[in-house]
Amino acid sequence: MIIAIDGPAASGKGTLAKRLAAHYGLPHLDTGLLYRAVARVLMDFDHKLDDDAAAVRAAQALEPSRLDDPRLRGREMGEAASVVAAIPAVRAALTEWQRGFARRAPGAVLDGRDIGTVICPDAQVKIFVTATAEERARRRFRELAGRGETVTYETVLDDIRRRDARDSGRSAAPLAAAADARLLDTTSLDIEQAVRAAIGFVEAVRREEG
């Protein structure tokens, strides 16, 4: 069983994906880490983030161990990843990496922005997780502040809106809900409520498939 979870930044899709993976005993891949890792390589070697050739080389040589780098989790890397992810050749280089992960038995849970539309269009379960920009900014602000990062809510909200525009407007695999995805608006839900709703979606699909 492949579960594809898509949505904008700070919608809760990552936490939801981890919980679903644990519930169903499936491996989980946060595909956003792939783009953060590529951006990290570029920054480490003083390449510009819009250097297409260097970004593609980094994507093609990406090692799974790089996804464990704690530096990938900060606000700066989220912004950098959004820039790198807009490069069509980078997305193409990472597509088979992600599909290979999803194809392994007994399946997987993948979260990102184009899982249900591009990476795994045949996934049995597709969920598009969303929330208002203001609520997502509040969540991200609390997360960053909890890590000790010095940032304001207004700055985080600006980042969220800028990333939404970039992710939705890019030519390659823009952020969008698959036509057959189930929408989960988490604006007024806590994580436990969101997990219950998502499990309900998965179980409904399993019943439909008999």
Q: Which residues pair with 29 in a beta bridge?
A: 110
Cα–Cα distance measured from residue 34 to residue 85, given in angstroms and rounded to the nearest whole number: 9
15 in a known ligand binding site: yes
CA distances from residue 75 to 38, 86, 99, 145 in whole angstroms, order as listed: 15, 18, 27, 11
The two tokens of residue 166 are: 């970039």
Cα–Cα distance measured from residue 16 to residue 129, given in angstroms and rounded to the nearest whole number: 9
Count Cβ atoms below 10 Å from residue 95 Cβ, excluding itself. Answer: 15
11 in a known ligand binding site: yes
82 in a known ligand binding site: no
Ramachandran quadrant class, 148 (left: phi over 0; alpha: psi -120 to 50; beta: rest): left
165 in a known ligand binding site: no
Of residues 208, 207, 205, the one with CA closest to residue 3: 205
Cα atoms found within 13 Å of the Cα of residue 8, Cβ hemisphere only: 25
- Strands 125-130 vs 182-185: parallel, antiparallel or unpaired: parallel
31 in a known ligand binding site: no
200 in a known ligand binding site: no
The two tokens of residue 207 are: 């019943």
81 in a known ligand binding site: no
Taking each helix axis from N to C end, the angle separating 153-169 and 75-84, rounded to the nearest 10 degrees, works out to 20
Which positions make up the binding site?
7-15
Binding residues for ATP: 7-15
